Amino acid sequence: MKIEKINESKYKITGLVRTNVLRDILELFDVSSSNDKDNEITINKVKSFHSFKDWEKTKHPLIDYISAEEMFDNFAAISLYLEKIGLQLSHLDPTKIVVINDNIFVPVNLDDLYIIKSGNITIDKPYDKKNPYLSLELKENTNIPFSLNFKSFYSSLALLIYDKLIGLKENSDYYEGLKIIFTSRLYWILRYCLLENTEDRLIVIV
C-alpha cells in the first residue's frame, strides 16, 4: 500500500485489490472516492488522511473510552457489511489501515478478505505471525490452508480495541485486563468477541 497526497483534501492509495469492495466500505461513512484503475483508489473531500501508524503517533499510547467505543463501532459496521455480502476479513493488519478525518478507520488489506462458506473462511496464503492483532485462532495455527469460523475475525477486532484502550502485553489475560472497565458497554462487547468458542462470538451493537 502506498499513500500519495494529491492536495489538502485528496489522497490516492495504490497497490490495492478489490477496490469495488473498498469503495462500498467508504460509502458506509459517506466518504467520496473514485478509482480509475483496479489497484488504486482516490479519496476526495477529506479534512485529514493518515496511515494507522502515523495516526498513532499523534495520540498518547492509549485512547480514551469514548474513542475506543467509536473505533469498535466503526470496524463493527464494516464487519457486518462484509458478512451481509458473504465475505469476511481474516484479521486486521495495523500496517494496512487508513484513518480519515481522525475518526474513520478503514482496513485496506482486502487481499485478506475471504468468501464465507458454511460459516467458515479458508486461509490459503501465509500471514504475519508477528501481527499483534491476529485472531486467537490464527495465532495458534501452523497450517495453510486453514479453515476457521468467520467469527474468528471478531477476536482480531477486540484485540485492536483492547490494545488501544488498555494496552496489550505478552500473554495478556484479556478477561482480567477488562475488569478496569467492568459493567461498561465496551466490557461486554469485548468479552463477547473474545469468547473461547469461536462460534459463540458476537458483535453486539446497542
For the segment 103-124, what is each residue's pLDDT rounded down to a tens digit?
999 999 999 999 999 999 999 9
Conformational region of residue 101, where left means phi above 0, alpha means psi within -120 to 50, and beta covers everything else: left
User: Quick one: pLDDT at residue 9?
Assistant: 96
Does the CA dihedral 159-67-22-150 come out positive or negative? positive
Per-residue pLDDT at 36:
75
Q: Would you tell me how many other CB atoms lie within 10 Å of the CB of residue 145?
A: 8
Instruction: Spell out the residues 6+ positions from residue 14 whose beta carbon is closer than 8 angstroms to its own.
Output: 1, 2, 4, 39, 40
Q: What SS3 string covers the chain?
A: CEEEEEECCEEEEECCCCHHHHHHHHHHCCCEEECCCCCEEEEECCCCEEEHHHHHHCCCCCCCHHHHHHHHHHHHHHHHHHHHCCEEECCCCHHHEEEECCCEEEECCHHHEEECECCEEEECCCCCCCCCCCCHHHHHCCCCCEEEECCHHHHHHHHHHHHHHCCCCCCCCHHHHHHHHCCCHHHHHHHHHCCCCHHHCCCCCC
**What is the pLDDT at residue 10?**
95
Q: Please report, as a single letter, which amino acid is at residue 113.
A: L
- pLDDT(12) > 80: yes
- Local confidence band at 91 (pLDDT 50, 70, 90 cut-offs): very high
6 pLDDT more than 80: yes
Percent of the chain with pLDDT over 90: 88
Q: pLDDT per residue over 62-86, tens digit each?
A: 899 999 999 999 999 999 999 999 9
Strand order in the sheet with 40-44: 2-7, 10-14, 40-44, 32-34
Of residues 132 and 36, more confidence is placed in: 132
Please determine, for residue 144, whether its predicted confidence score (pLDDT) is greater than 90: yes
**CA trace torsion 103, 91, 139, 128 (10° rounding):** -90
pTM (predicted TM-score): 0.94
Q: What percent of the chain has pLDDT over 70?
A: 100
Q: What is the pLDDT of residue 62?
A: 87
Q: Is the pLDDT of residue 37 over 80?
A: yes
- Decide if pLDDT at 61 tops 80: no
pLDDT at residue 206 in the model? 66
Beta-carbon contacts of residue 180 (< 8 Å; ≥ 6 apart): 166
Q: What is the mean pLDDT of residues 191-203?
A: 96
pLDDT at residue 161 greater than cutoff 80 = yes
